Structures are given as structure tokens and as C-alpha cells.
Chains A and B, each alone.
Chain A
């Protein structure tokens, strides 16, 4: 159900229904977003892949955790003789 009664209906706050001030803010924001620098998708992808590769050996979900290092796994109790 997920709070459907709380979520605001997405109002059509298009430029046509908003105020001039709102429209100016929207344009200002779009200008800001338009002028950012973008890198190529090929570079973005290879950087992500490289990060995954470099850190894979430290990822317990990929590598598994030895029982001796797993604080959640119940270990066999030791008896002192």
C-alpha cells in the first residue's frame, strides 16, 4: 500500500499553470543543469567496471567469509581441559 494516502498527487506544475517567478526559477535551474560537463559513457562504464574489479576481493558477498572471521556464525564452543 505504501502511504498512498499521503503522497501528493503529482500536480501538473507546468509552466502554463505556475507563476512567472516559478517559471523563471525553472529556467534558471535548467540552465544550471544544461551547462555541466559530461564524460563519455564508455569512460563512465569502464571506470565503474574497474572499481568493481579492484574491490571484488574485499567484497564478502562475492568472496564469502571464512567461518573464523564471521561474527554471526555460531562457532563450536571450546572446552578448557
Chain B
């Protein structure tokens, strides 16, 4: 038997082992465990603020850790930092490349980052001495578009790319510290664990992967989706992962049980999930869809308990799209970015 054939057999055997090991701990289901609790009451959401200023499609937004400021990126070529309470624009940063697809706010509040079809992640210092916001670093190495970026600190950032890899960068030197390779399709989004030791990525190979940041290895791979995984997030305590896919479902994967616990789906929902965020307690899941809606799910009962429809509030024109919905930590604020 040639080595190739041997390796193929070993791979198949290992896959079977993983399937068996997952089944061996399946003594129950989340559905059964949650049978005794009641579904949460209907959640009504009210638009409190509309942040106006972008002139083209908003592709991404990210809250600051203070839950008041947020940054949004639009294909009008601008990064805008908003005070969500006053709706004032704190900064309007012109970008070299208008084909931006993602943006991020550093936990410190000092930096923001963005990137897109330029294949680069550009870091901006908001707290420069002369008050002007300038490009601090341009992180270039990806051979595909930048789909997502998230700061670990002011000196480290993780990016995900259409080149199927994620990279951990040293911002000060502008160099790659670690390349996380393994996905077999474009990486679409990433999320960092609350303890900053791990991160998860969702990709067009229909899987989500859990990566050990310091070791540079993939610890676990979660399959089950039937199409691209566009959105990903951690359950608040870091023990579970939520994914959103073009297959119109969201899934909850438990990291310690190493498997899917539940799927959030409804026969009336036929369009892809573009973004998601859990509420503070983890009980609710807010998910943004391609049909301009945000559906609110009871995460334990897998039932829809609310819906936020843009159509009710803003007249739509052809081609409008609801982009990221994100619930900031420590608050009830949900920001929905659109083309409007």
C-alpha cells in the first residue's frame, strides 16, 4: 500500500473516531435539558437612534468596549467613529481604498482597523498627538480580501481572509506572528474568546474552527452547515460558539462537548445569515439575515421570539441590505448598518 493510500485510510479512520467520540458523550440533548424551562416572552425592539452620514453601503461596524462609541466602514471610502448616544461623528477617516469589508475597534479605544479588497489591514491611531487620525500601519501579506479583523490588544490583531487563512500580526513591527492555515474555503469572519486565548473562524468550507492563539494550531473543527459560514461569535462565557450560514440557519456548538447542540431555523426563513450577536446573558441570539431582517432567538429553546424589520421603519429601495447587527457587551444596544 502506497503512503498516500495509507494516509487516506488513516484520515478516514480518524474521522470515524471523532464521530464516535462525539456520539459517546451524547447522553442527552439541549432540547431535552431545556424542556422544563419556558420560552422567553416576546422581545420588542425600538429604533432609538439612526446614525446618518455614510453615502454608500455600510459593510461593517464594531462597538467600542465602552458601549457608547462605535466604528462603521462604508464603501463610500470612509471609516466613521460615532458617539451612539449623541449620534455625533467623532471621527470621519478617509480610506485609501474604498473597497472596505470589515472594521474593528481596539479594546483600549485607541485604535481602529479596517480592510477589504486591498488585501490589507490598515491600523489607525485615534489618539495621535496632533489630533489628526493617520494610518499607523498597513499589514500586508494576505493574498485574498480581508473579510474580518479583531484586536487582541493595541499591539496584536487577528485577520481573516479570502485566501483561506487567518493571521496574527504584531502591529508595532507590521509583521506576521502566526499564520492559521487549515480552512479549505474563504475565511469569512472571526471572533476572539473572552479570555483572549482562542479565536474562532467561519469559512466557505462550511465549517467553523477553534484556534489556539499562542500554539498556532487548530484545536477543533465544527461541521454541519450546508453552506458558507458568514458569521460567528462566542457565547458570553466562551464555552460555546454560534455560527450563521448561507444555509439560512444558525447553530450552537459546545466547545467542551465538541459538537453541535442545537440549530436555529424556521421553514419560513430561506435566506442567509449575515451577522449575529448573543445578548449579555447568552439567552438571546440576534441574527441578521439577507432579507433585511433581524431575528431574535431564544437560544435555549430555539424559538424565534422577536423580529426587527427595516421595512417597517425605512422605505426600501432595490438593493438595500441589512449588514452587521451587533449587540455591544454590557448593553442592550443593537446597531444595524444598512445601505441607507
- A46 to chain B: which residues have CB within 8 Å? 33
How far apart are A61's CB and chain B's nearest CB, in angstroms?
5
- B269 to chain A: which residues have CB within 8 Å? none
How far apart are B153's CB and chain A's nearest CB, in angstroms?
26
Q: A48-B239, A52-B299 are in contact. Are A40 and B27 (CB under 8 A)?
A: yes
- Provide the bound-state CA to CA distance between A10 and B22, in Å: 26
* Residues in B lying within 8 Å of A, measured CB to CB: 3-4, 7-8, 10-11, 14-15, 17-18, 21-22, 24-30, 32-34, 37, 40, 43, 48-49, 68, 84-85, 101, 117, 144-145, 162, 164, 182, 184-186, 204-206, 217-221, 228, 230, 235-237, 239-240, 246, 254, 256-259, 261, 272, 274, 279-284, 290, 296, 299-300, 327, 331-333
Q: A6-B186, A27-B7, A52-B299 are in contact. Are A45 and B30 (CB under 8 A)?
A: yes
For this complex, 6 residue pairs linking A to B, each with C-beta atoms less than 8 Å apart, are A2-B290, A30-B11, A38-B25, A51-B239, A59-B279, A62-B283
Question: Which of A8, A11, A34, A48 is within 8 Å of B300, CB to CB?
Answer: A48
Q: A39-B257, A46-B33, A55-B283 are in contact. List 13 more A-B contacts (CB 8 A).
A: A8-B186, A10-B185, A15-B7, A20-B4, A29-B218, A33-B14, A39-B256, A40-B25, A45-B30, A48-B235, A61-B43, A71-B68, A71-B85
* Residues in A lying within 8 Å of B, measured CB to CB: 2-3, 6-8, 10-11, 13, 15-16, 20, 23-24, 26-27, 29-34, 36, 38-49, 51-52, 54-56, 58-62, 65, 70-73
- Provide the bound-state CA to CA distance between A55 and B329, in Å: 13
Q: Check if A48 sits within 8 Å of B4, measured CB to CB.
A: no
How far apart are B141's CB and chain A's nearest CB, in angstroms?
18
Question: Please, which residue of chain B has its CB at the minimum distance from the CB of A72?
Answer: B48
Q: A10-B205, A20-B7, A51-B237 are in contact. Are A44 and B284 (CB under 8 A)?
A: no
Q: A30-B14, A55-B280, A71-B85 are in contact. Are A6 and B145 (CB under 8 A)?
A: yes
- Provide the bound-state CA to CA distance between A41 and B24, in Å: 10
